[in-house]
Amino acid sequence: MRTIKQFLFALGILCHSLPSINAQNPLVTHMFTADPTARVFDGKLYVFPSSDTYPPAGREKEFPRFCMPGYHAFSLENGSTWKDHGWILKENDVPWGEKDTYAMWAPDCIEKDGKYYYYYPAKPKNDNAFRRIGVGVSKNPTGPFKWEKSFIEGVSGIDPGLLLDDDNKAYLFFGGGHELYVAPLADNMKEITQKPILIEGLPAGYKEGSFPIKKDSTYYLTFAHVFPDEGYTIGYATSENPMGPYTYRGKIMNNIHNGTNHHSIVEYQGQWILFYHSWDISGYNKLRSMRADYMTFKKDGTIKRVTPTLRGIGTPQLGDTIQVDRYNEISKASTAFVGGENEPNGWMVCNTQMMGFVRFNRVKFDGAIKIQARVASGQRTGSFEVRLNNPKGKLVAEFPIEYTGGWSSWKTIEADVKEPITGTHNLVVVFKSDWGSTKAVNLNWLLLQ
Ligand code: FUB
């Protein structure tokens, strides 16, 4: 549990935040996002997460549980910038929902015949069910959606997961606790056509969530499970039939101390990506932040276990900020959170020792003639260099270290790219100052121009 001080600190971060967005982890830092469902519509990558927030004033004691007010939607622009499309649905706008319950748990959105259907759980009014599942329809993935007046009859539970099969038949998976159900949907996508059936073949530790996909005629069902002494992990099962029975195949991700483990999987531009959440910003398991990492299927159809990274997905290019603190490798340096009135919220590289470095993989250098760097320094000795691929790799640019007014007085400086570089490379920043010194410069981000 976090201390009040930690809570206020995180609140301060959010209040002062500018919407700084990127494809490094966590994916967005201007609000808390959880349970990310990713979808590709018309070649564009969208994410439909739930959102976590602080309990309303005076109701803190009621909310040791999640406090979830509704949904935003995001799309990936230019390969590395997440656009926030704002509110898709707020809890008090659910036609059949009980007001002020902050119970908007994991959603899903799917396209069928040119229309987008958004499924969400909420606490129903005048009904004993823990959650019911509602649906809305729109011509656009990000709405506005026309919400059905009532929840889907015959469905009671959380975590809607949708599958549209090759024959254009849709299935609604839902569940939570220890049981997962599935029911076929009618053509209108708003009703089920038969009583839901319990999915057979899941491991005893099945907990919640399900994300169904079909690949090479195999149905994959991925879900959060909890085995004794392990906490939440992500597992999967396969079947030849969407409604099962399924055969358990193992884990996709180990426990990463992220509380729950709701996730989704999508193929985007030829690469599979696992979306999940962690509590990177808050340090608190009820204030989560969505993440993404690449995932691979082996030749035999099994899924290789995903190692969570800070680096995440995407390839920054000209004009994108490169958050080097979301590194692939760091040596003789560390990272810390940067907040502040006029600063983007996020992290910085700090405690940069002589010959310390940070490596950030996959940067598209084409067209870059200058590099900007956001820095703060309380001293004026040394330099830092941008190099290709390793700390002794080709020198791309060199920045002398200036006194900026102190270790939290930020300034944007720039340096010329020494000669044109084409293609995508790993970027390495190397810090140089006096031997024995422990702080050359604080570095917030780089930007290719
Ligand atoms: O975010 C609230 C609930 O926690 C989700 O619906 C579950 O899957 C779990 O992530």
The CATH number that applies at residue 249 is 2.115.10.20
pLDDT at site 342 = 56
pLDDT at site 341 = 59
Specify whether 277 is located in the same domain as 337. no
Contact by Cβ (8 Å): 33, 277: yes
SS3 185: strand
Helices (H) then strands (E): counts for the chain: 1, 30
Examine residue 267 and state whether it is found in any structural domain, yes or no: yes
Count of CB atoms situated within 10 Å of the CB of 347: 22
Examine residue 359 and state whether it is found in any structural domain, yes or no: yes
What gap in Å lies between CA 254 and CA 225, rounded to an integer?
A: 10
Higher local confidence (pLDDT), 205 or 221: 221
- C-alpha 232 to ligand 1 mean position (Å): 12
Does the pLDDT value for residue 21 go beyond 50? Answer: no
The residue segments making up the domain with residue 418 are: 321-448
Specify whether 261 is located in the same domain as 328. no
Q: Annotated catalytic, 398?
A: no
Atom nearest to 224 CA in ligand 1: 8
Per the prediction, the chain carries an average pLDDT of 92
Does the pLDDT value for residue 23 go beyond 70? Answer: no
Specify whether 149 is located in the same domain as 14. yes
DSSP letter string, 91-142 = GGG-TTBPTT--B----EEEEETTEEEEEEEEPBTT---S-EEEEEEESSTT
Contact by Cβ (8 Å): 363, 386: no
What gap in Å lies between CA 324 and CA 390, rounded to an integer?
A: 14
pTM above the 0.85 mark?
Answer: yes
> What's the length of the chain?
449
Specify whether 145 is located in the same domain as 268. yes
Mutate to test the pocket of ligand 1, among 33, 48, 50, 263 (most ligand atoms within 8 A of CB): 50
Q: What percent of the chain has pLDDT over 70?
A: 93
pLDDT band for 292, please (50, 70, 90 cuts).
Answer: very high
159 lines ligand 1 (CB under 6 A): yes
Specify whether 130 is located in the same domain as 44. yes
Examine residue 360 and state whether it is found in any structural domain, yes or no: yes
Q: Which of 280, 295, 310 is the last residue of a domain?
A: 295
35 lines ligand 1 (CB under 6 A): yes
Give per-residue pLDDT as tens, 390-417: 999 999 999 999 999 999 999 999 999 9
Examine residue 306 and state whether it is found in any structural domain, yes or no: no
208 lines ligand 1 (CB under 6 A): yes
Contact by Cβ (8 Å): 209, 236: no
Examine residue 91 and state whether it is found in any structural domain, yes or no: yes
Mutate to test the pocket of ligand 1, among 53, 63, 65, 66 (most ligand atoms within 8 A of CB): 66
pLDDT at site 4 = 37
Examine residue 346 and state whether it is found in any structural domain, yes or no: yes
34 lines ligand 1 (CB under 6 A): yes
SS3 6: helix
The CATH number that applies at residue 355 is 2.60.120.260
Specify whether 233 is located in the same domain as 268. yes
Examine residue 63 and state whether it is found in any structural domain, yes or no: yes
Specify whether 203 is located in the same domain as 277. yes
pLDDT at site 337 = 87
Specify whether 68 is located in the same domain as 135. yes
Specify whether 250 is located in the same domain as 331. no
Give per-residue pLDDT as tens, 254-280: 998 877 889 999 999 999 999 999 998
Residue from 52, 108, 148, 208 carrying the catalytic annotation: 208
Specify whether 227 is located in the same domain as 289. yes
Examine residue 8 and state whether it is found in any structural domain, yes or no: yes
Neighbouring-strand partners of residue 219:
214, 239
Q: Please count the structural domains in the chain.
A: 2
Specify whether 165 is located in the same domain as 254. yes
Specify whether 105 is located in the same domain as 28. yes
